[in-house]
Structure 1
Amino acid sequence: MARSLDGLVLAPVSDQEPGQVGTGTRFAYREQDGTVWAEYAGGDIVRGHLVGTRDGDRLDFRYVQLKHDGTTSGGHCRSAVVELPDGRVRLDEAWEWESQSGSGTSVVEQVTGTSAMEQPTT
């Protein structure tokens, strides 16, 4: 099993469609006893929250977010936790909106250095 997500900051490796998470979005993860949660913000997202579970290297969570245009949206995501050769963590994600139509895949990776400081406040 890959290491704990607790205290890690992750960011998308590429932008999604406009109005969604992108390379400017930062996810501040927490993990304890099989439970995972995070706050996120950046790019088009004012504030987002996710909460779910971890079983081995699999995450299953729901997310909800507020965009700068005042709209909200939410959905469901399943992710595989991968430890990269350099020791950082990557999540390979398959997500689906529950508040609107659409689904897709994305990749988020652990950020380090000064960019990691641009995380949402908890």
Structure 2
Amino acid sequence: MARSLDGLVLSPVADQAPGQVGTRTRFTYHERDGRIWAEYAGGDVVRGHLVGTRTKDTLDFRYVQLTEDGTTSSGHCVSTVVDLADGRVRLEEAWAWESREGGGTSVVEEPLS
């Protein structure tokens, strides 16, 4: 199993569509006893939260966010935790909105120092 996410700050490697997370968004993760949660903000996202579980290297969580235009959105995501060769952590994600149409894939990882 990959190392703990507790205290890690991750960011997307590419921008998503407007009103979604982007390269300026920062996620601060917490992990304890198979439970995960994070706060995130940056770019078009004013405030976001996610909460879920971790089983081995799979995260399963729901998220909710508020964007600059006052829109709230929620969805579901399943991520695979990957240890990179340089020691950083990456999450490879498949997500879908539950409050509106759409979904996709994304990658977040620890920024290079």
TM category (shorter chain) comes to: over 0.9
Q: 1: distance between equivalents of 2:30 and 2:111?
A: 15
For 1:68-107, list aligned pairs within 5 A. 68-107=68-107
Q: 2: distance between equivalents of 1:17 and 1:47?
A: 17
Alpha-carbon deviations, 1:18-68, whole Å to 9, x = none? Answer: 110000000000000000000000000000000000000000000000001
For 1:105-116, list aligned pairs within 5 A. 105-111=105-111, 113=113
- The equivalent residue for 2:64 is 64
Q: 2: distance between equivalents of 1:71 and 1:103?
A: 17
Alpha-carbon deviations, 1:85-110, whole Å to 9, x = none? Answer: 00000000000000000010000001
- The equivalent residue for 1:3 is 3
Q: 2: distance between equivalents of 1:71 and 1:96?
A: 17
Q: 2: distance between equivalents of 1:77 and 1:110?
A: 18
Q: 1: distance between equivalents of 2:43 and 2:17?
A: 12
Of all paired residues, the percent bearing the same amino acid is 74
- TM-score, normalising length from structure 2? 0.98
Q: Which runs of 5+ in 2 are unaligned?
A: none
AA partner of residue 60 (structure 2): D
Q: 2: distance between equivalents of 1:66 and 1:90?
A: 24
Q: 2: distance between equivalents of 1:38 and 1:112?
A: 20
Q: 1: distance between equivalents of 2:110 and 2:31?
A: 15
Q: Which runs of 5+ in 1 are unaligned?
A: 114-122
Q: 2: distance between equivalents of 1:111 and 1:103?
A: 24
The number of equivalent residue pairs is 113
CA RMSD of aligned residues (A): 0.7
AA partner of residue 97 (structure 2): W
Say which structure is richer in helix: 1
Q: How far did residue 111 of structure 1 move?
A: 2.2
- TM-score, normalising length from structure 1? 0.91
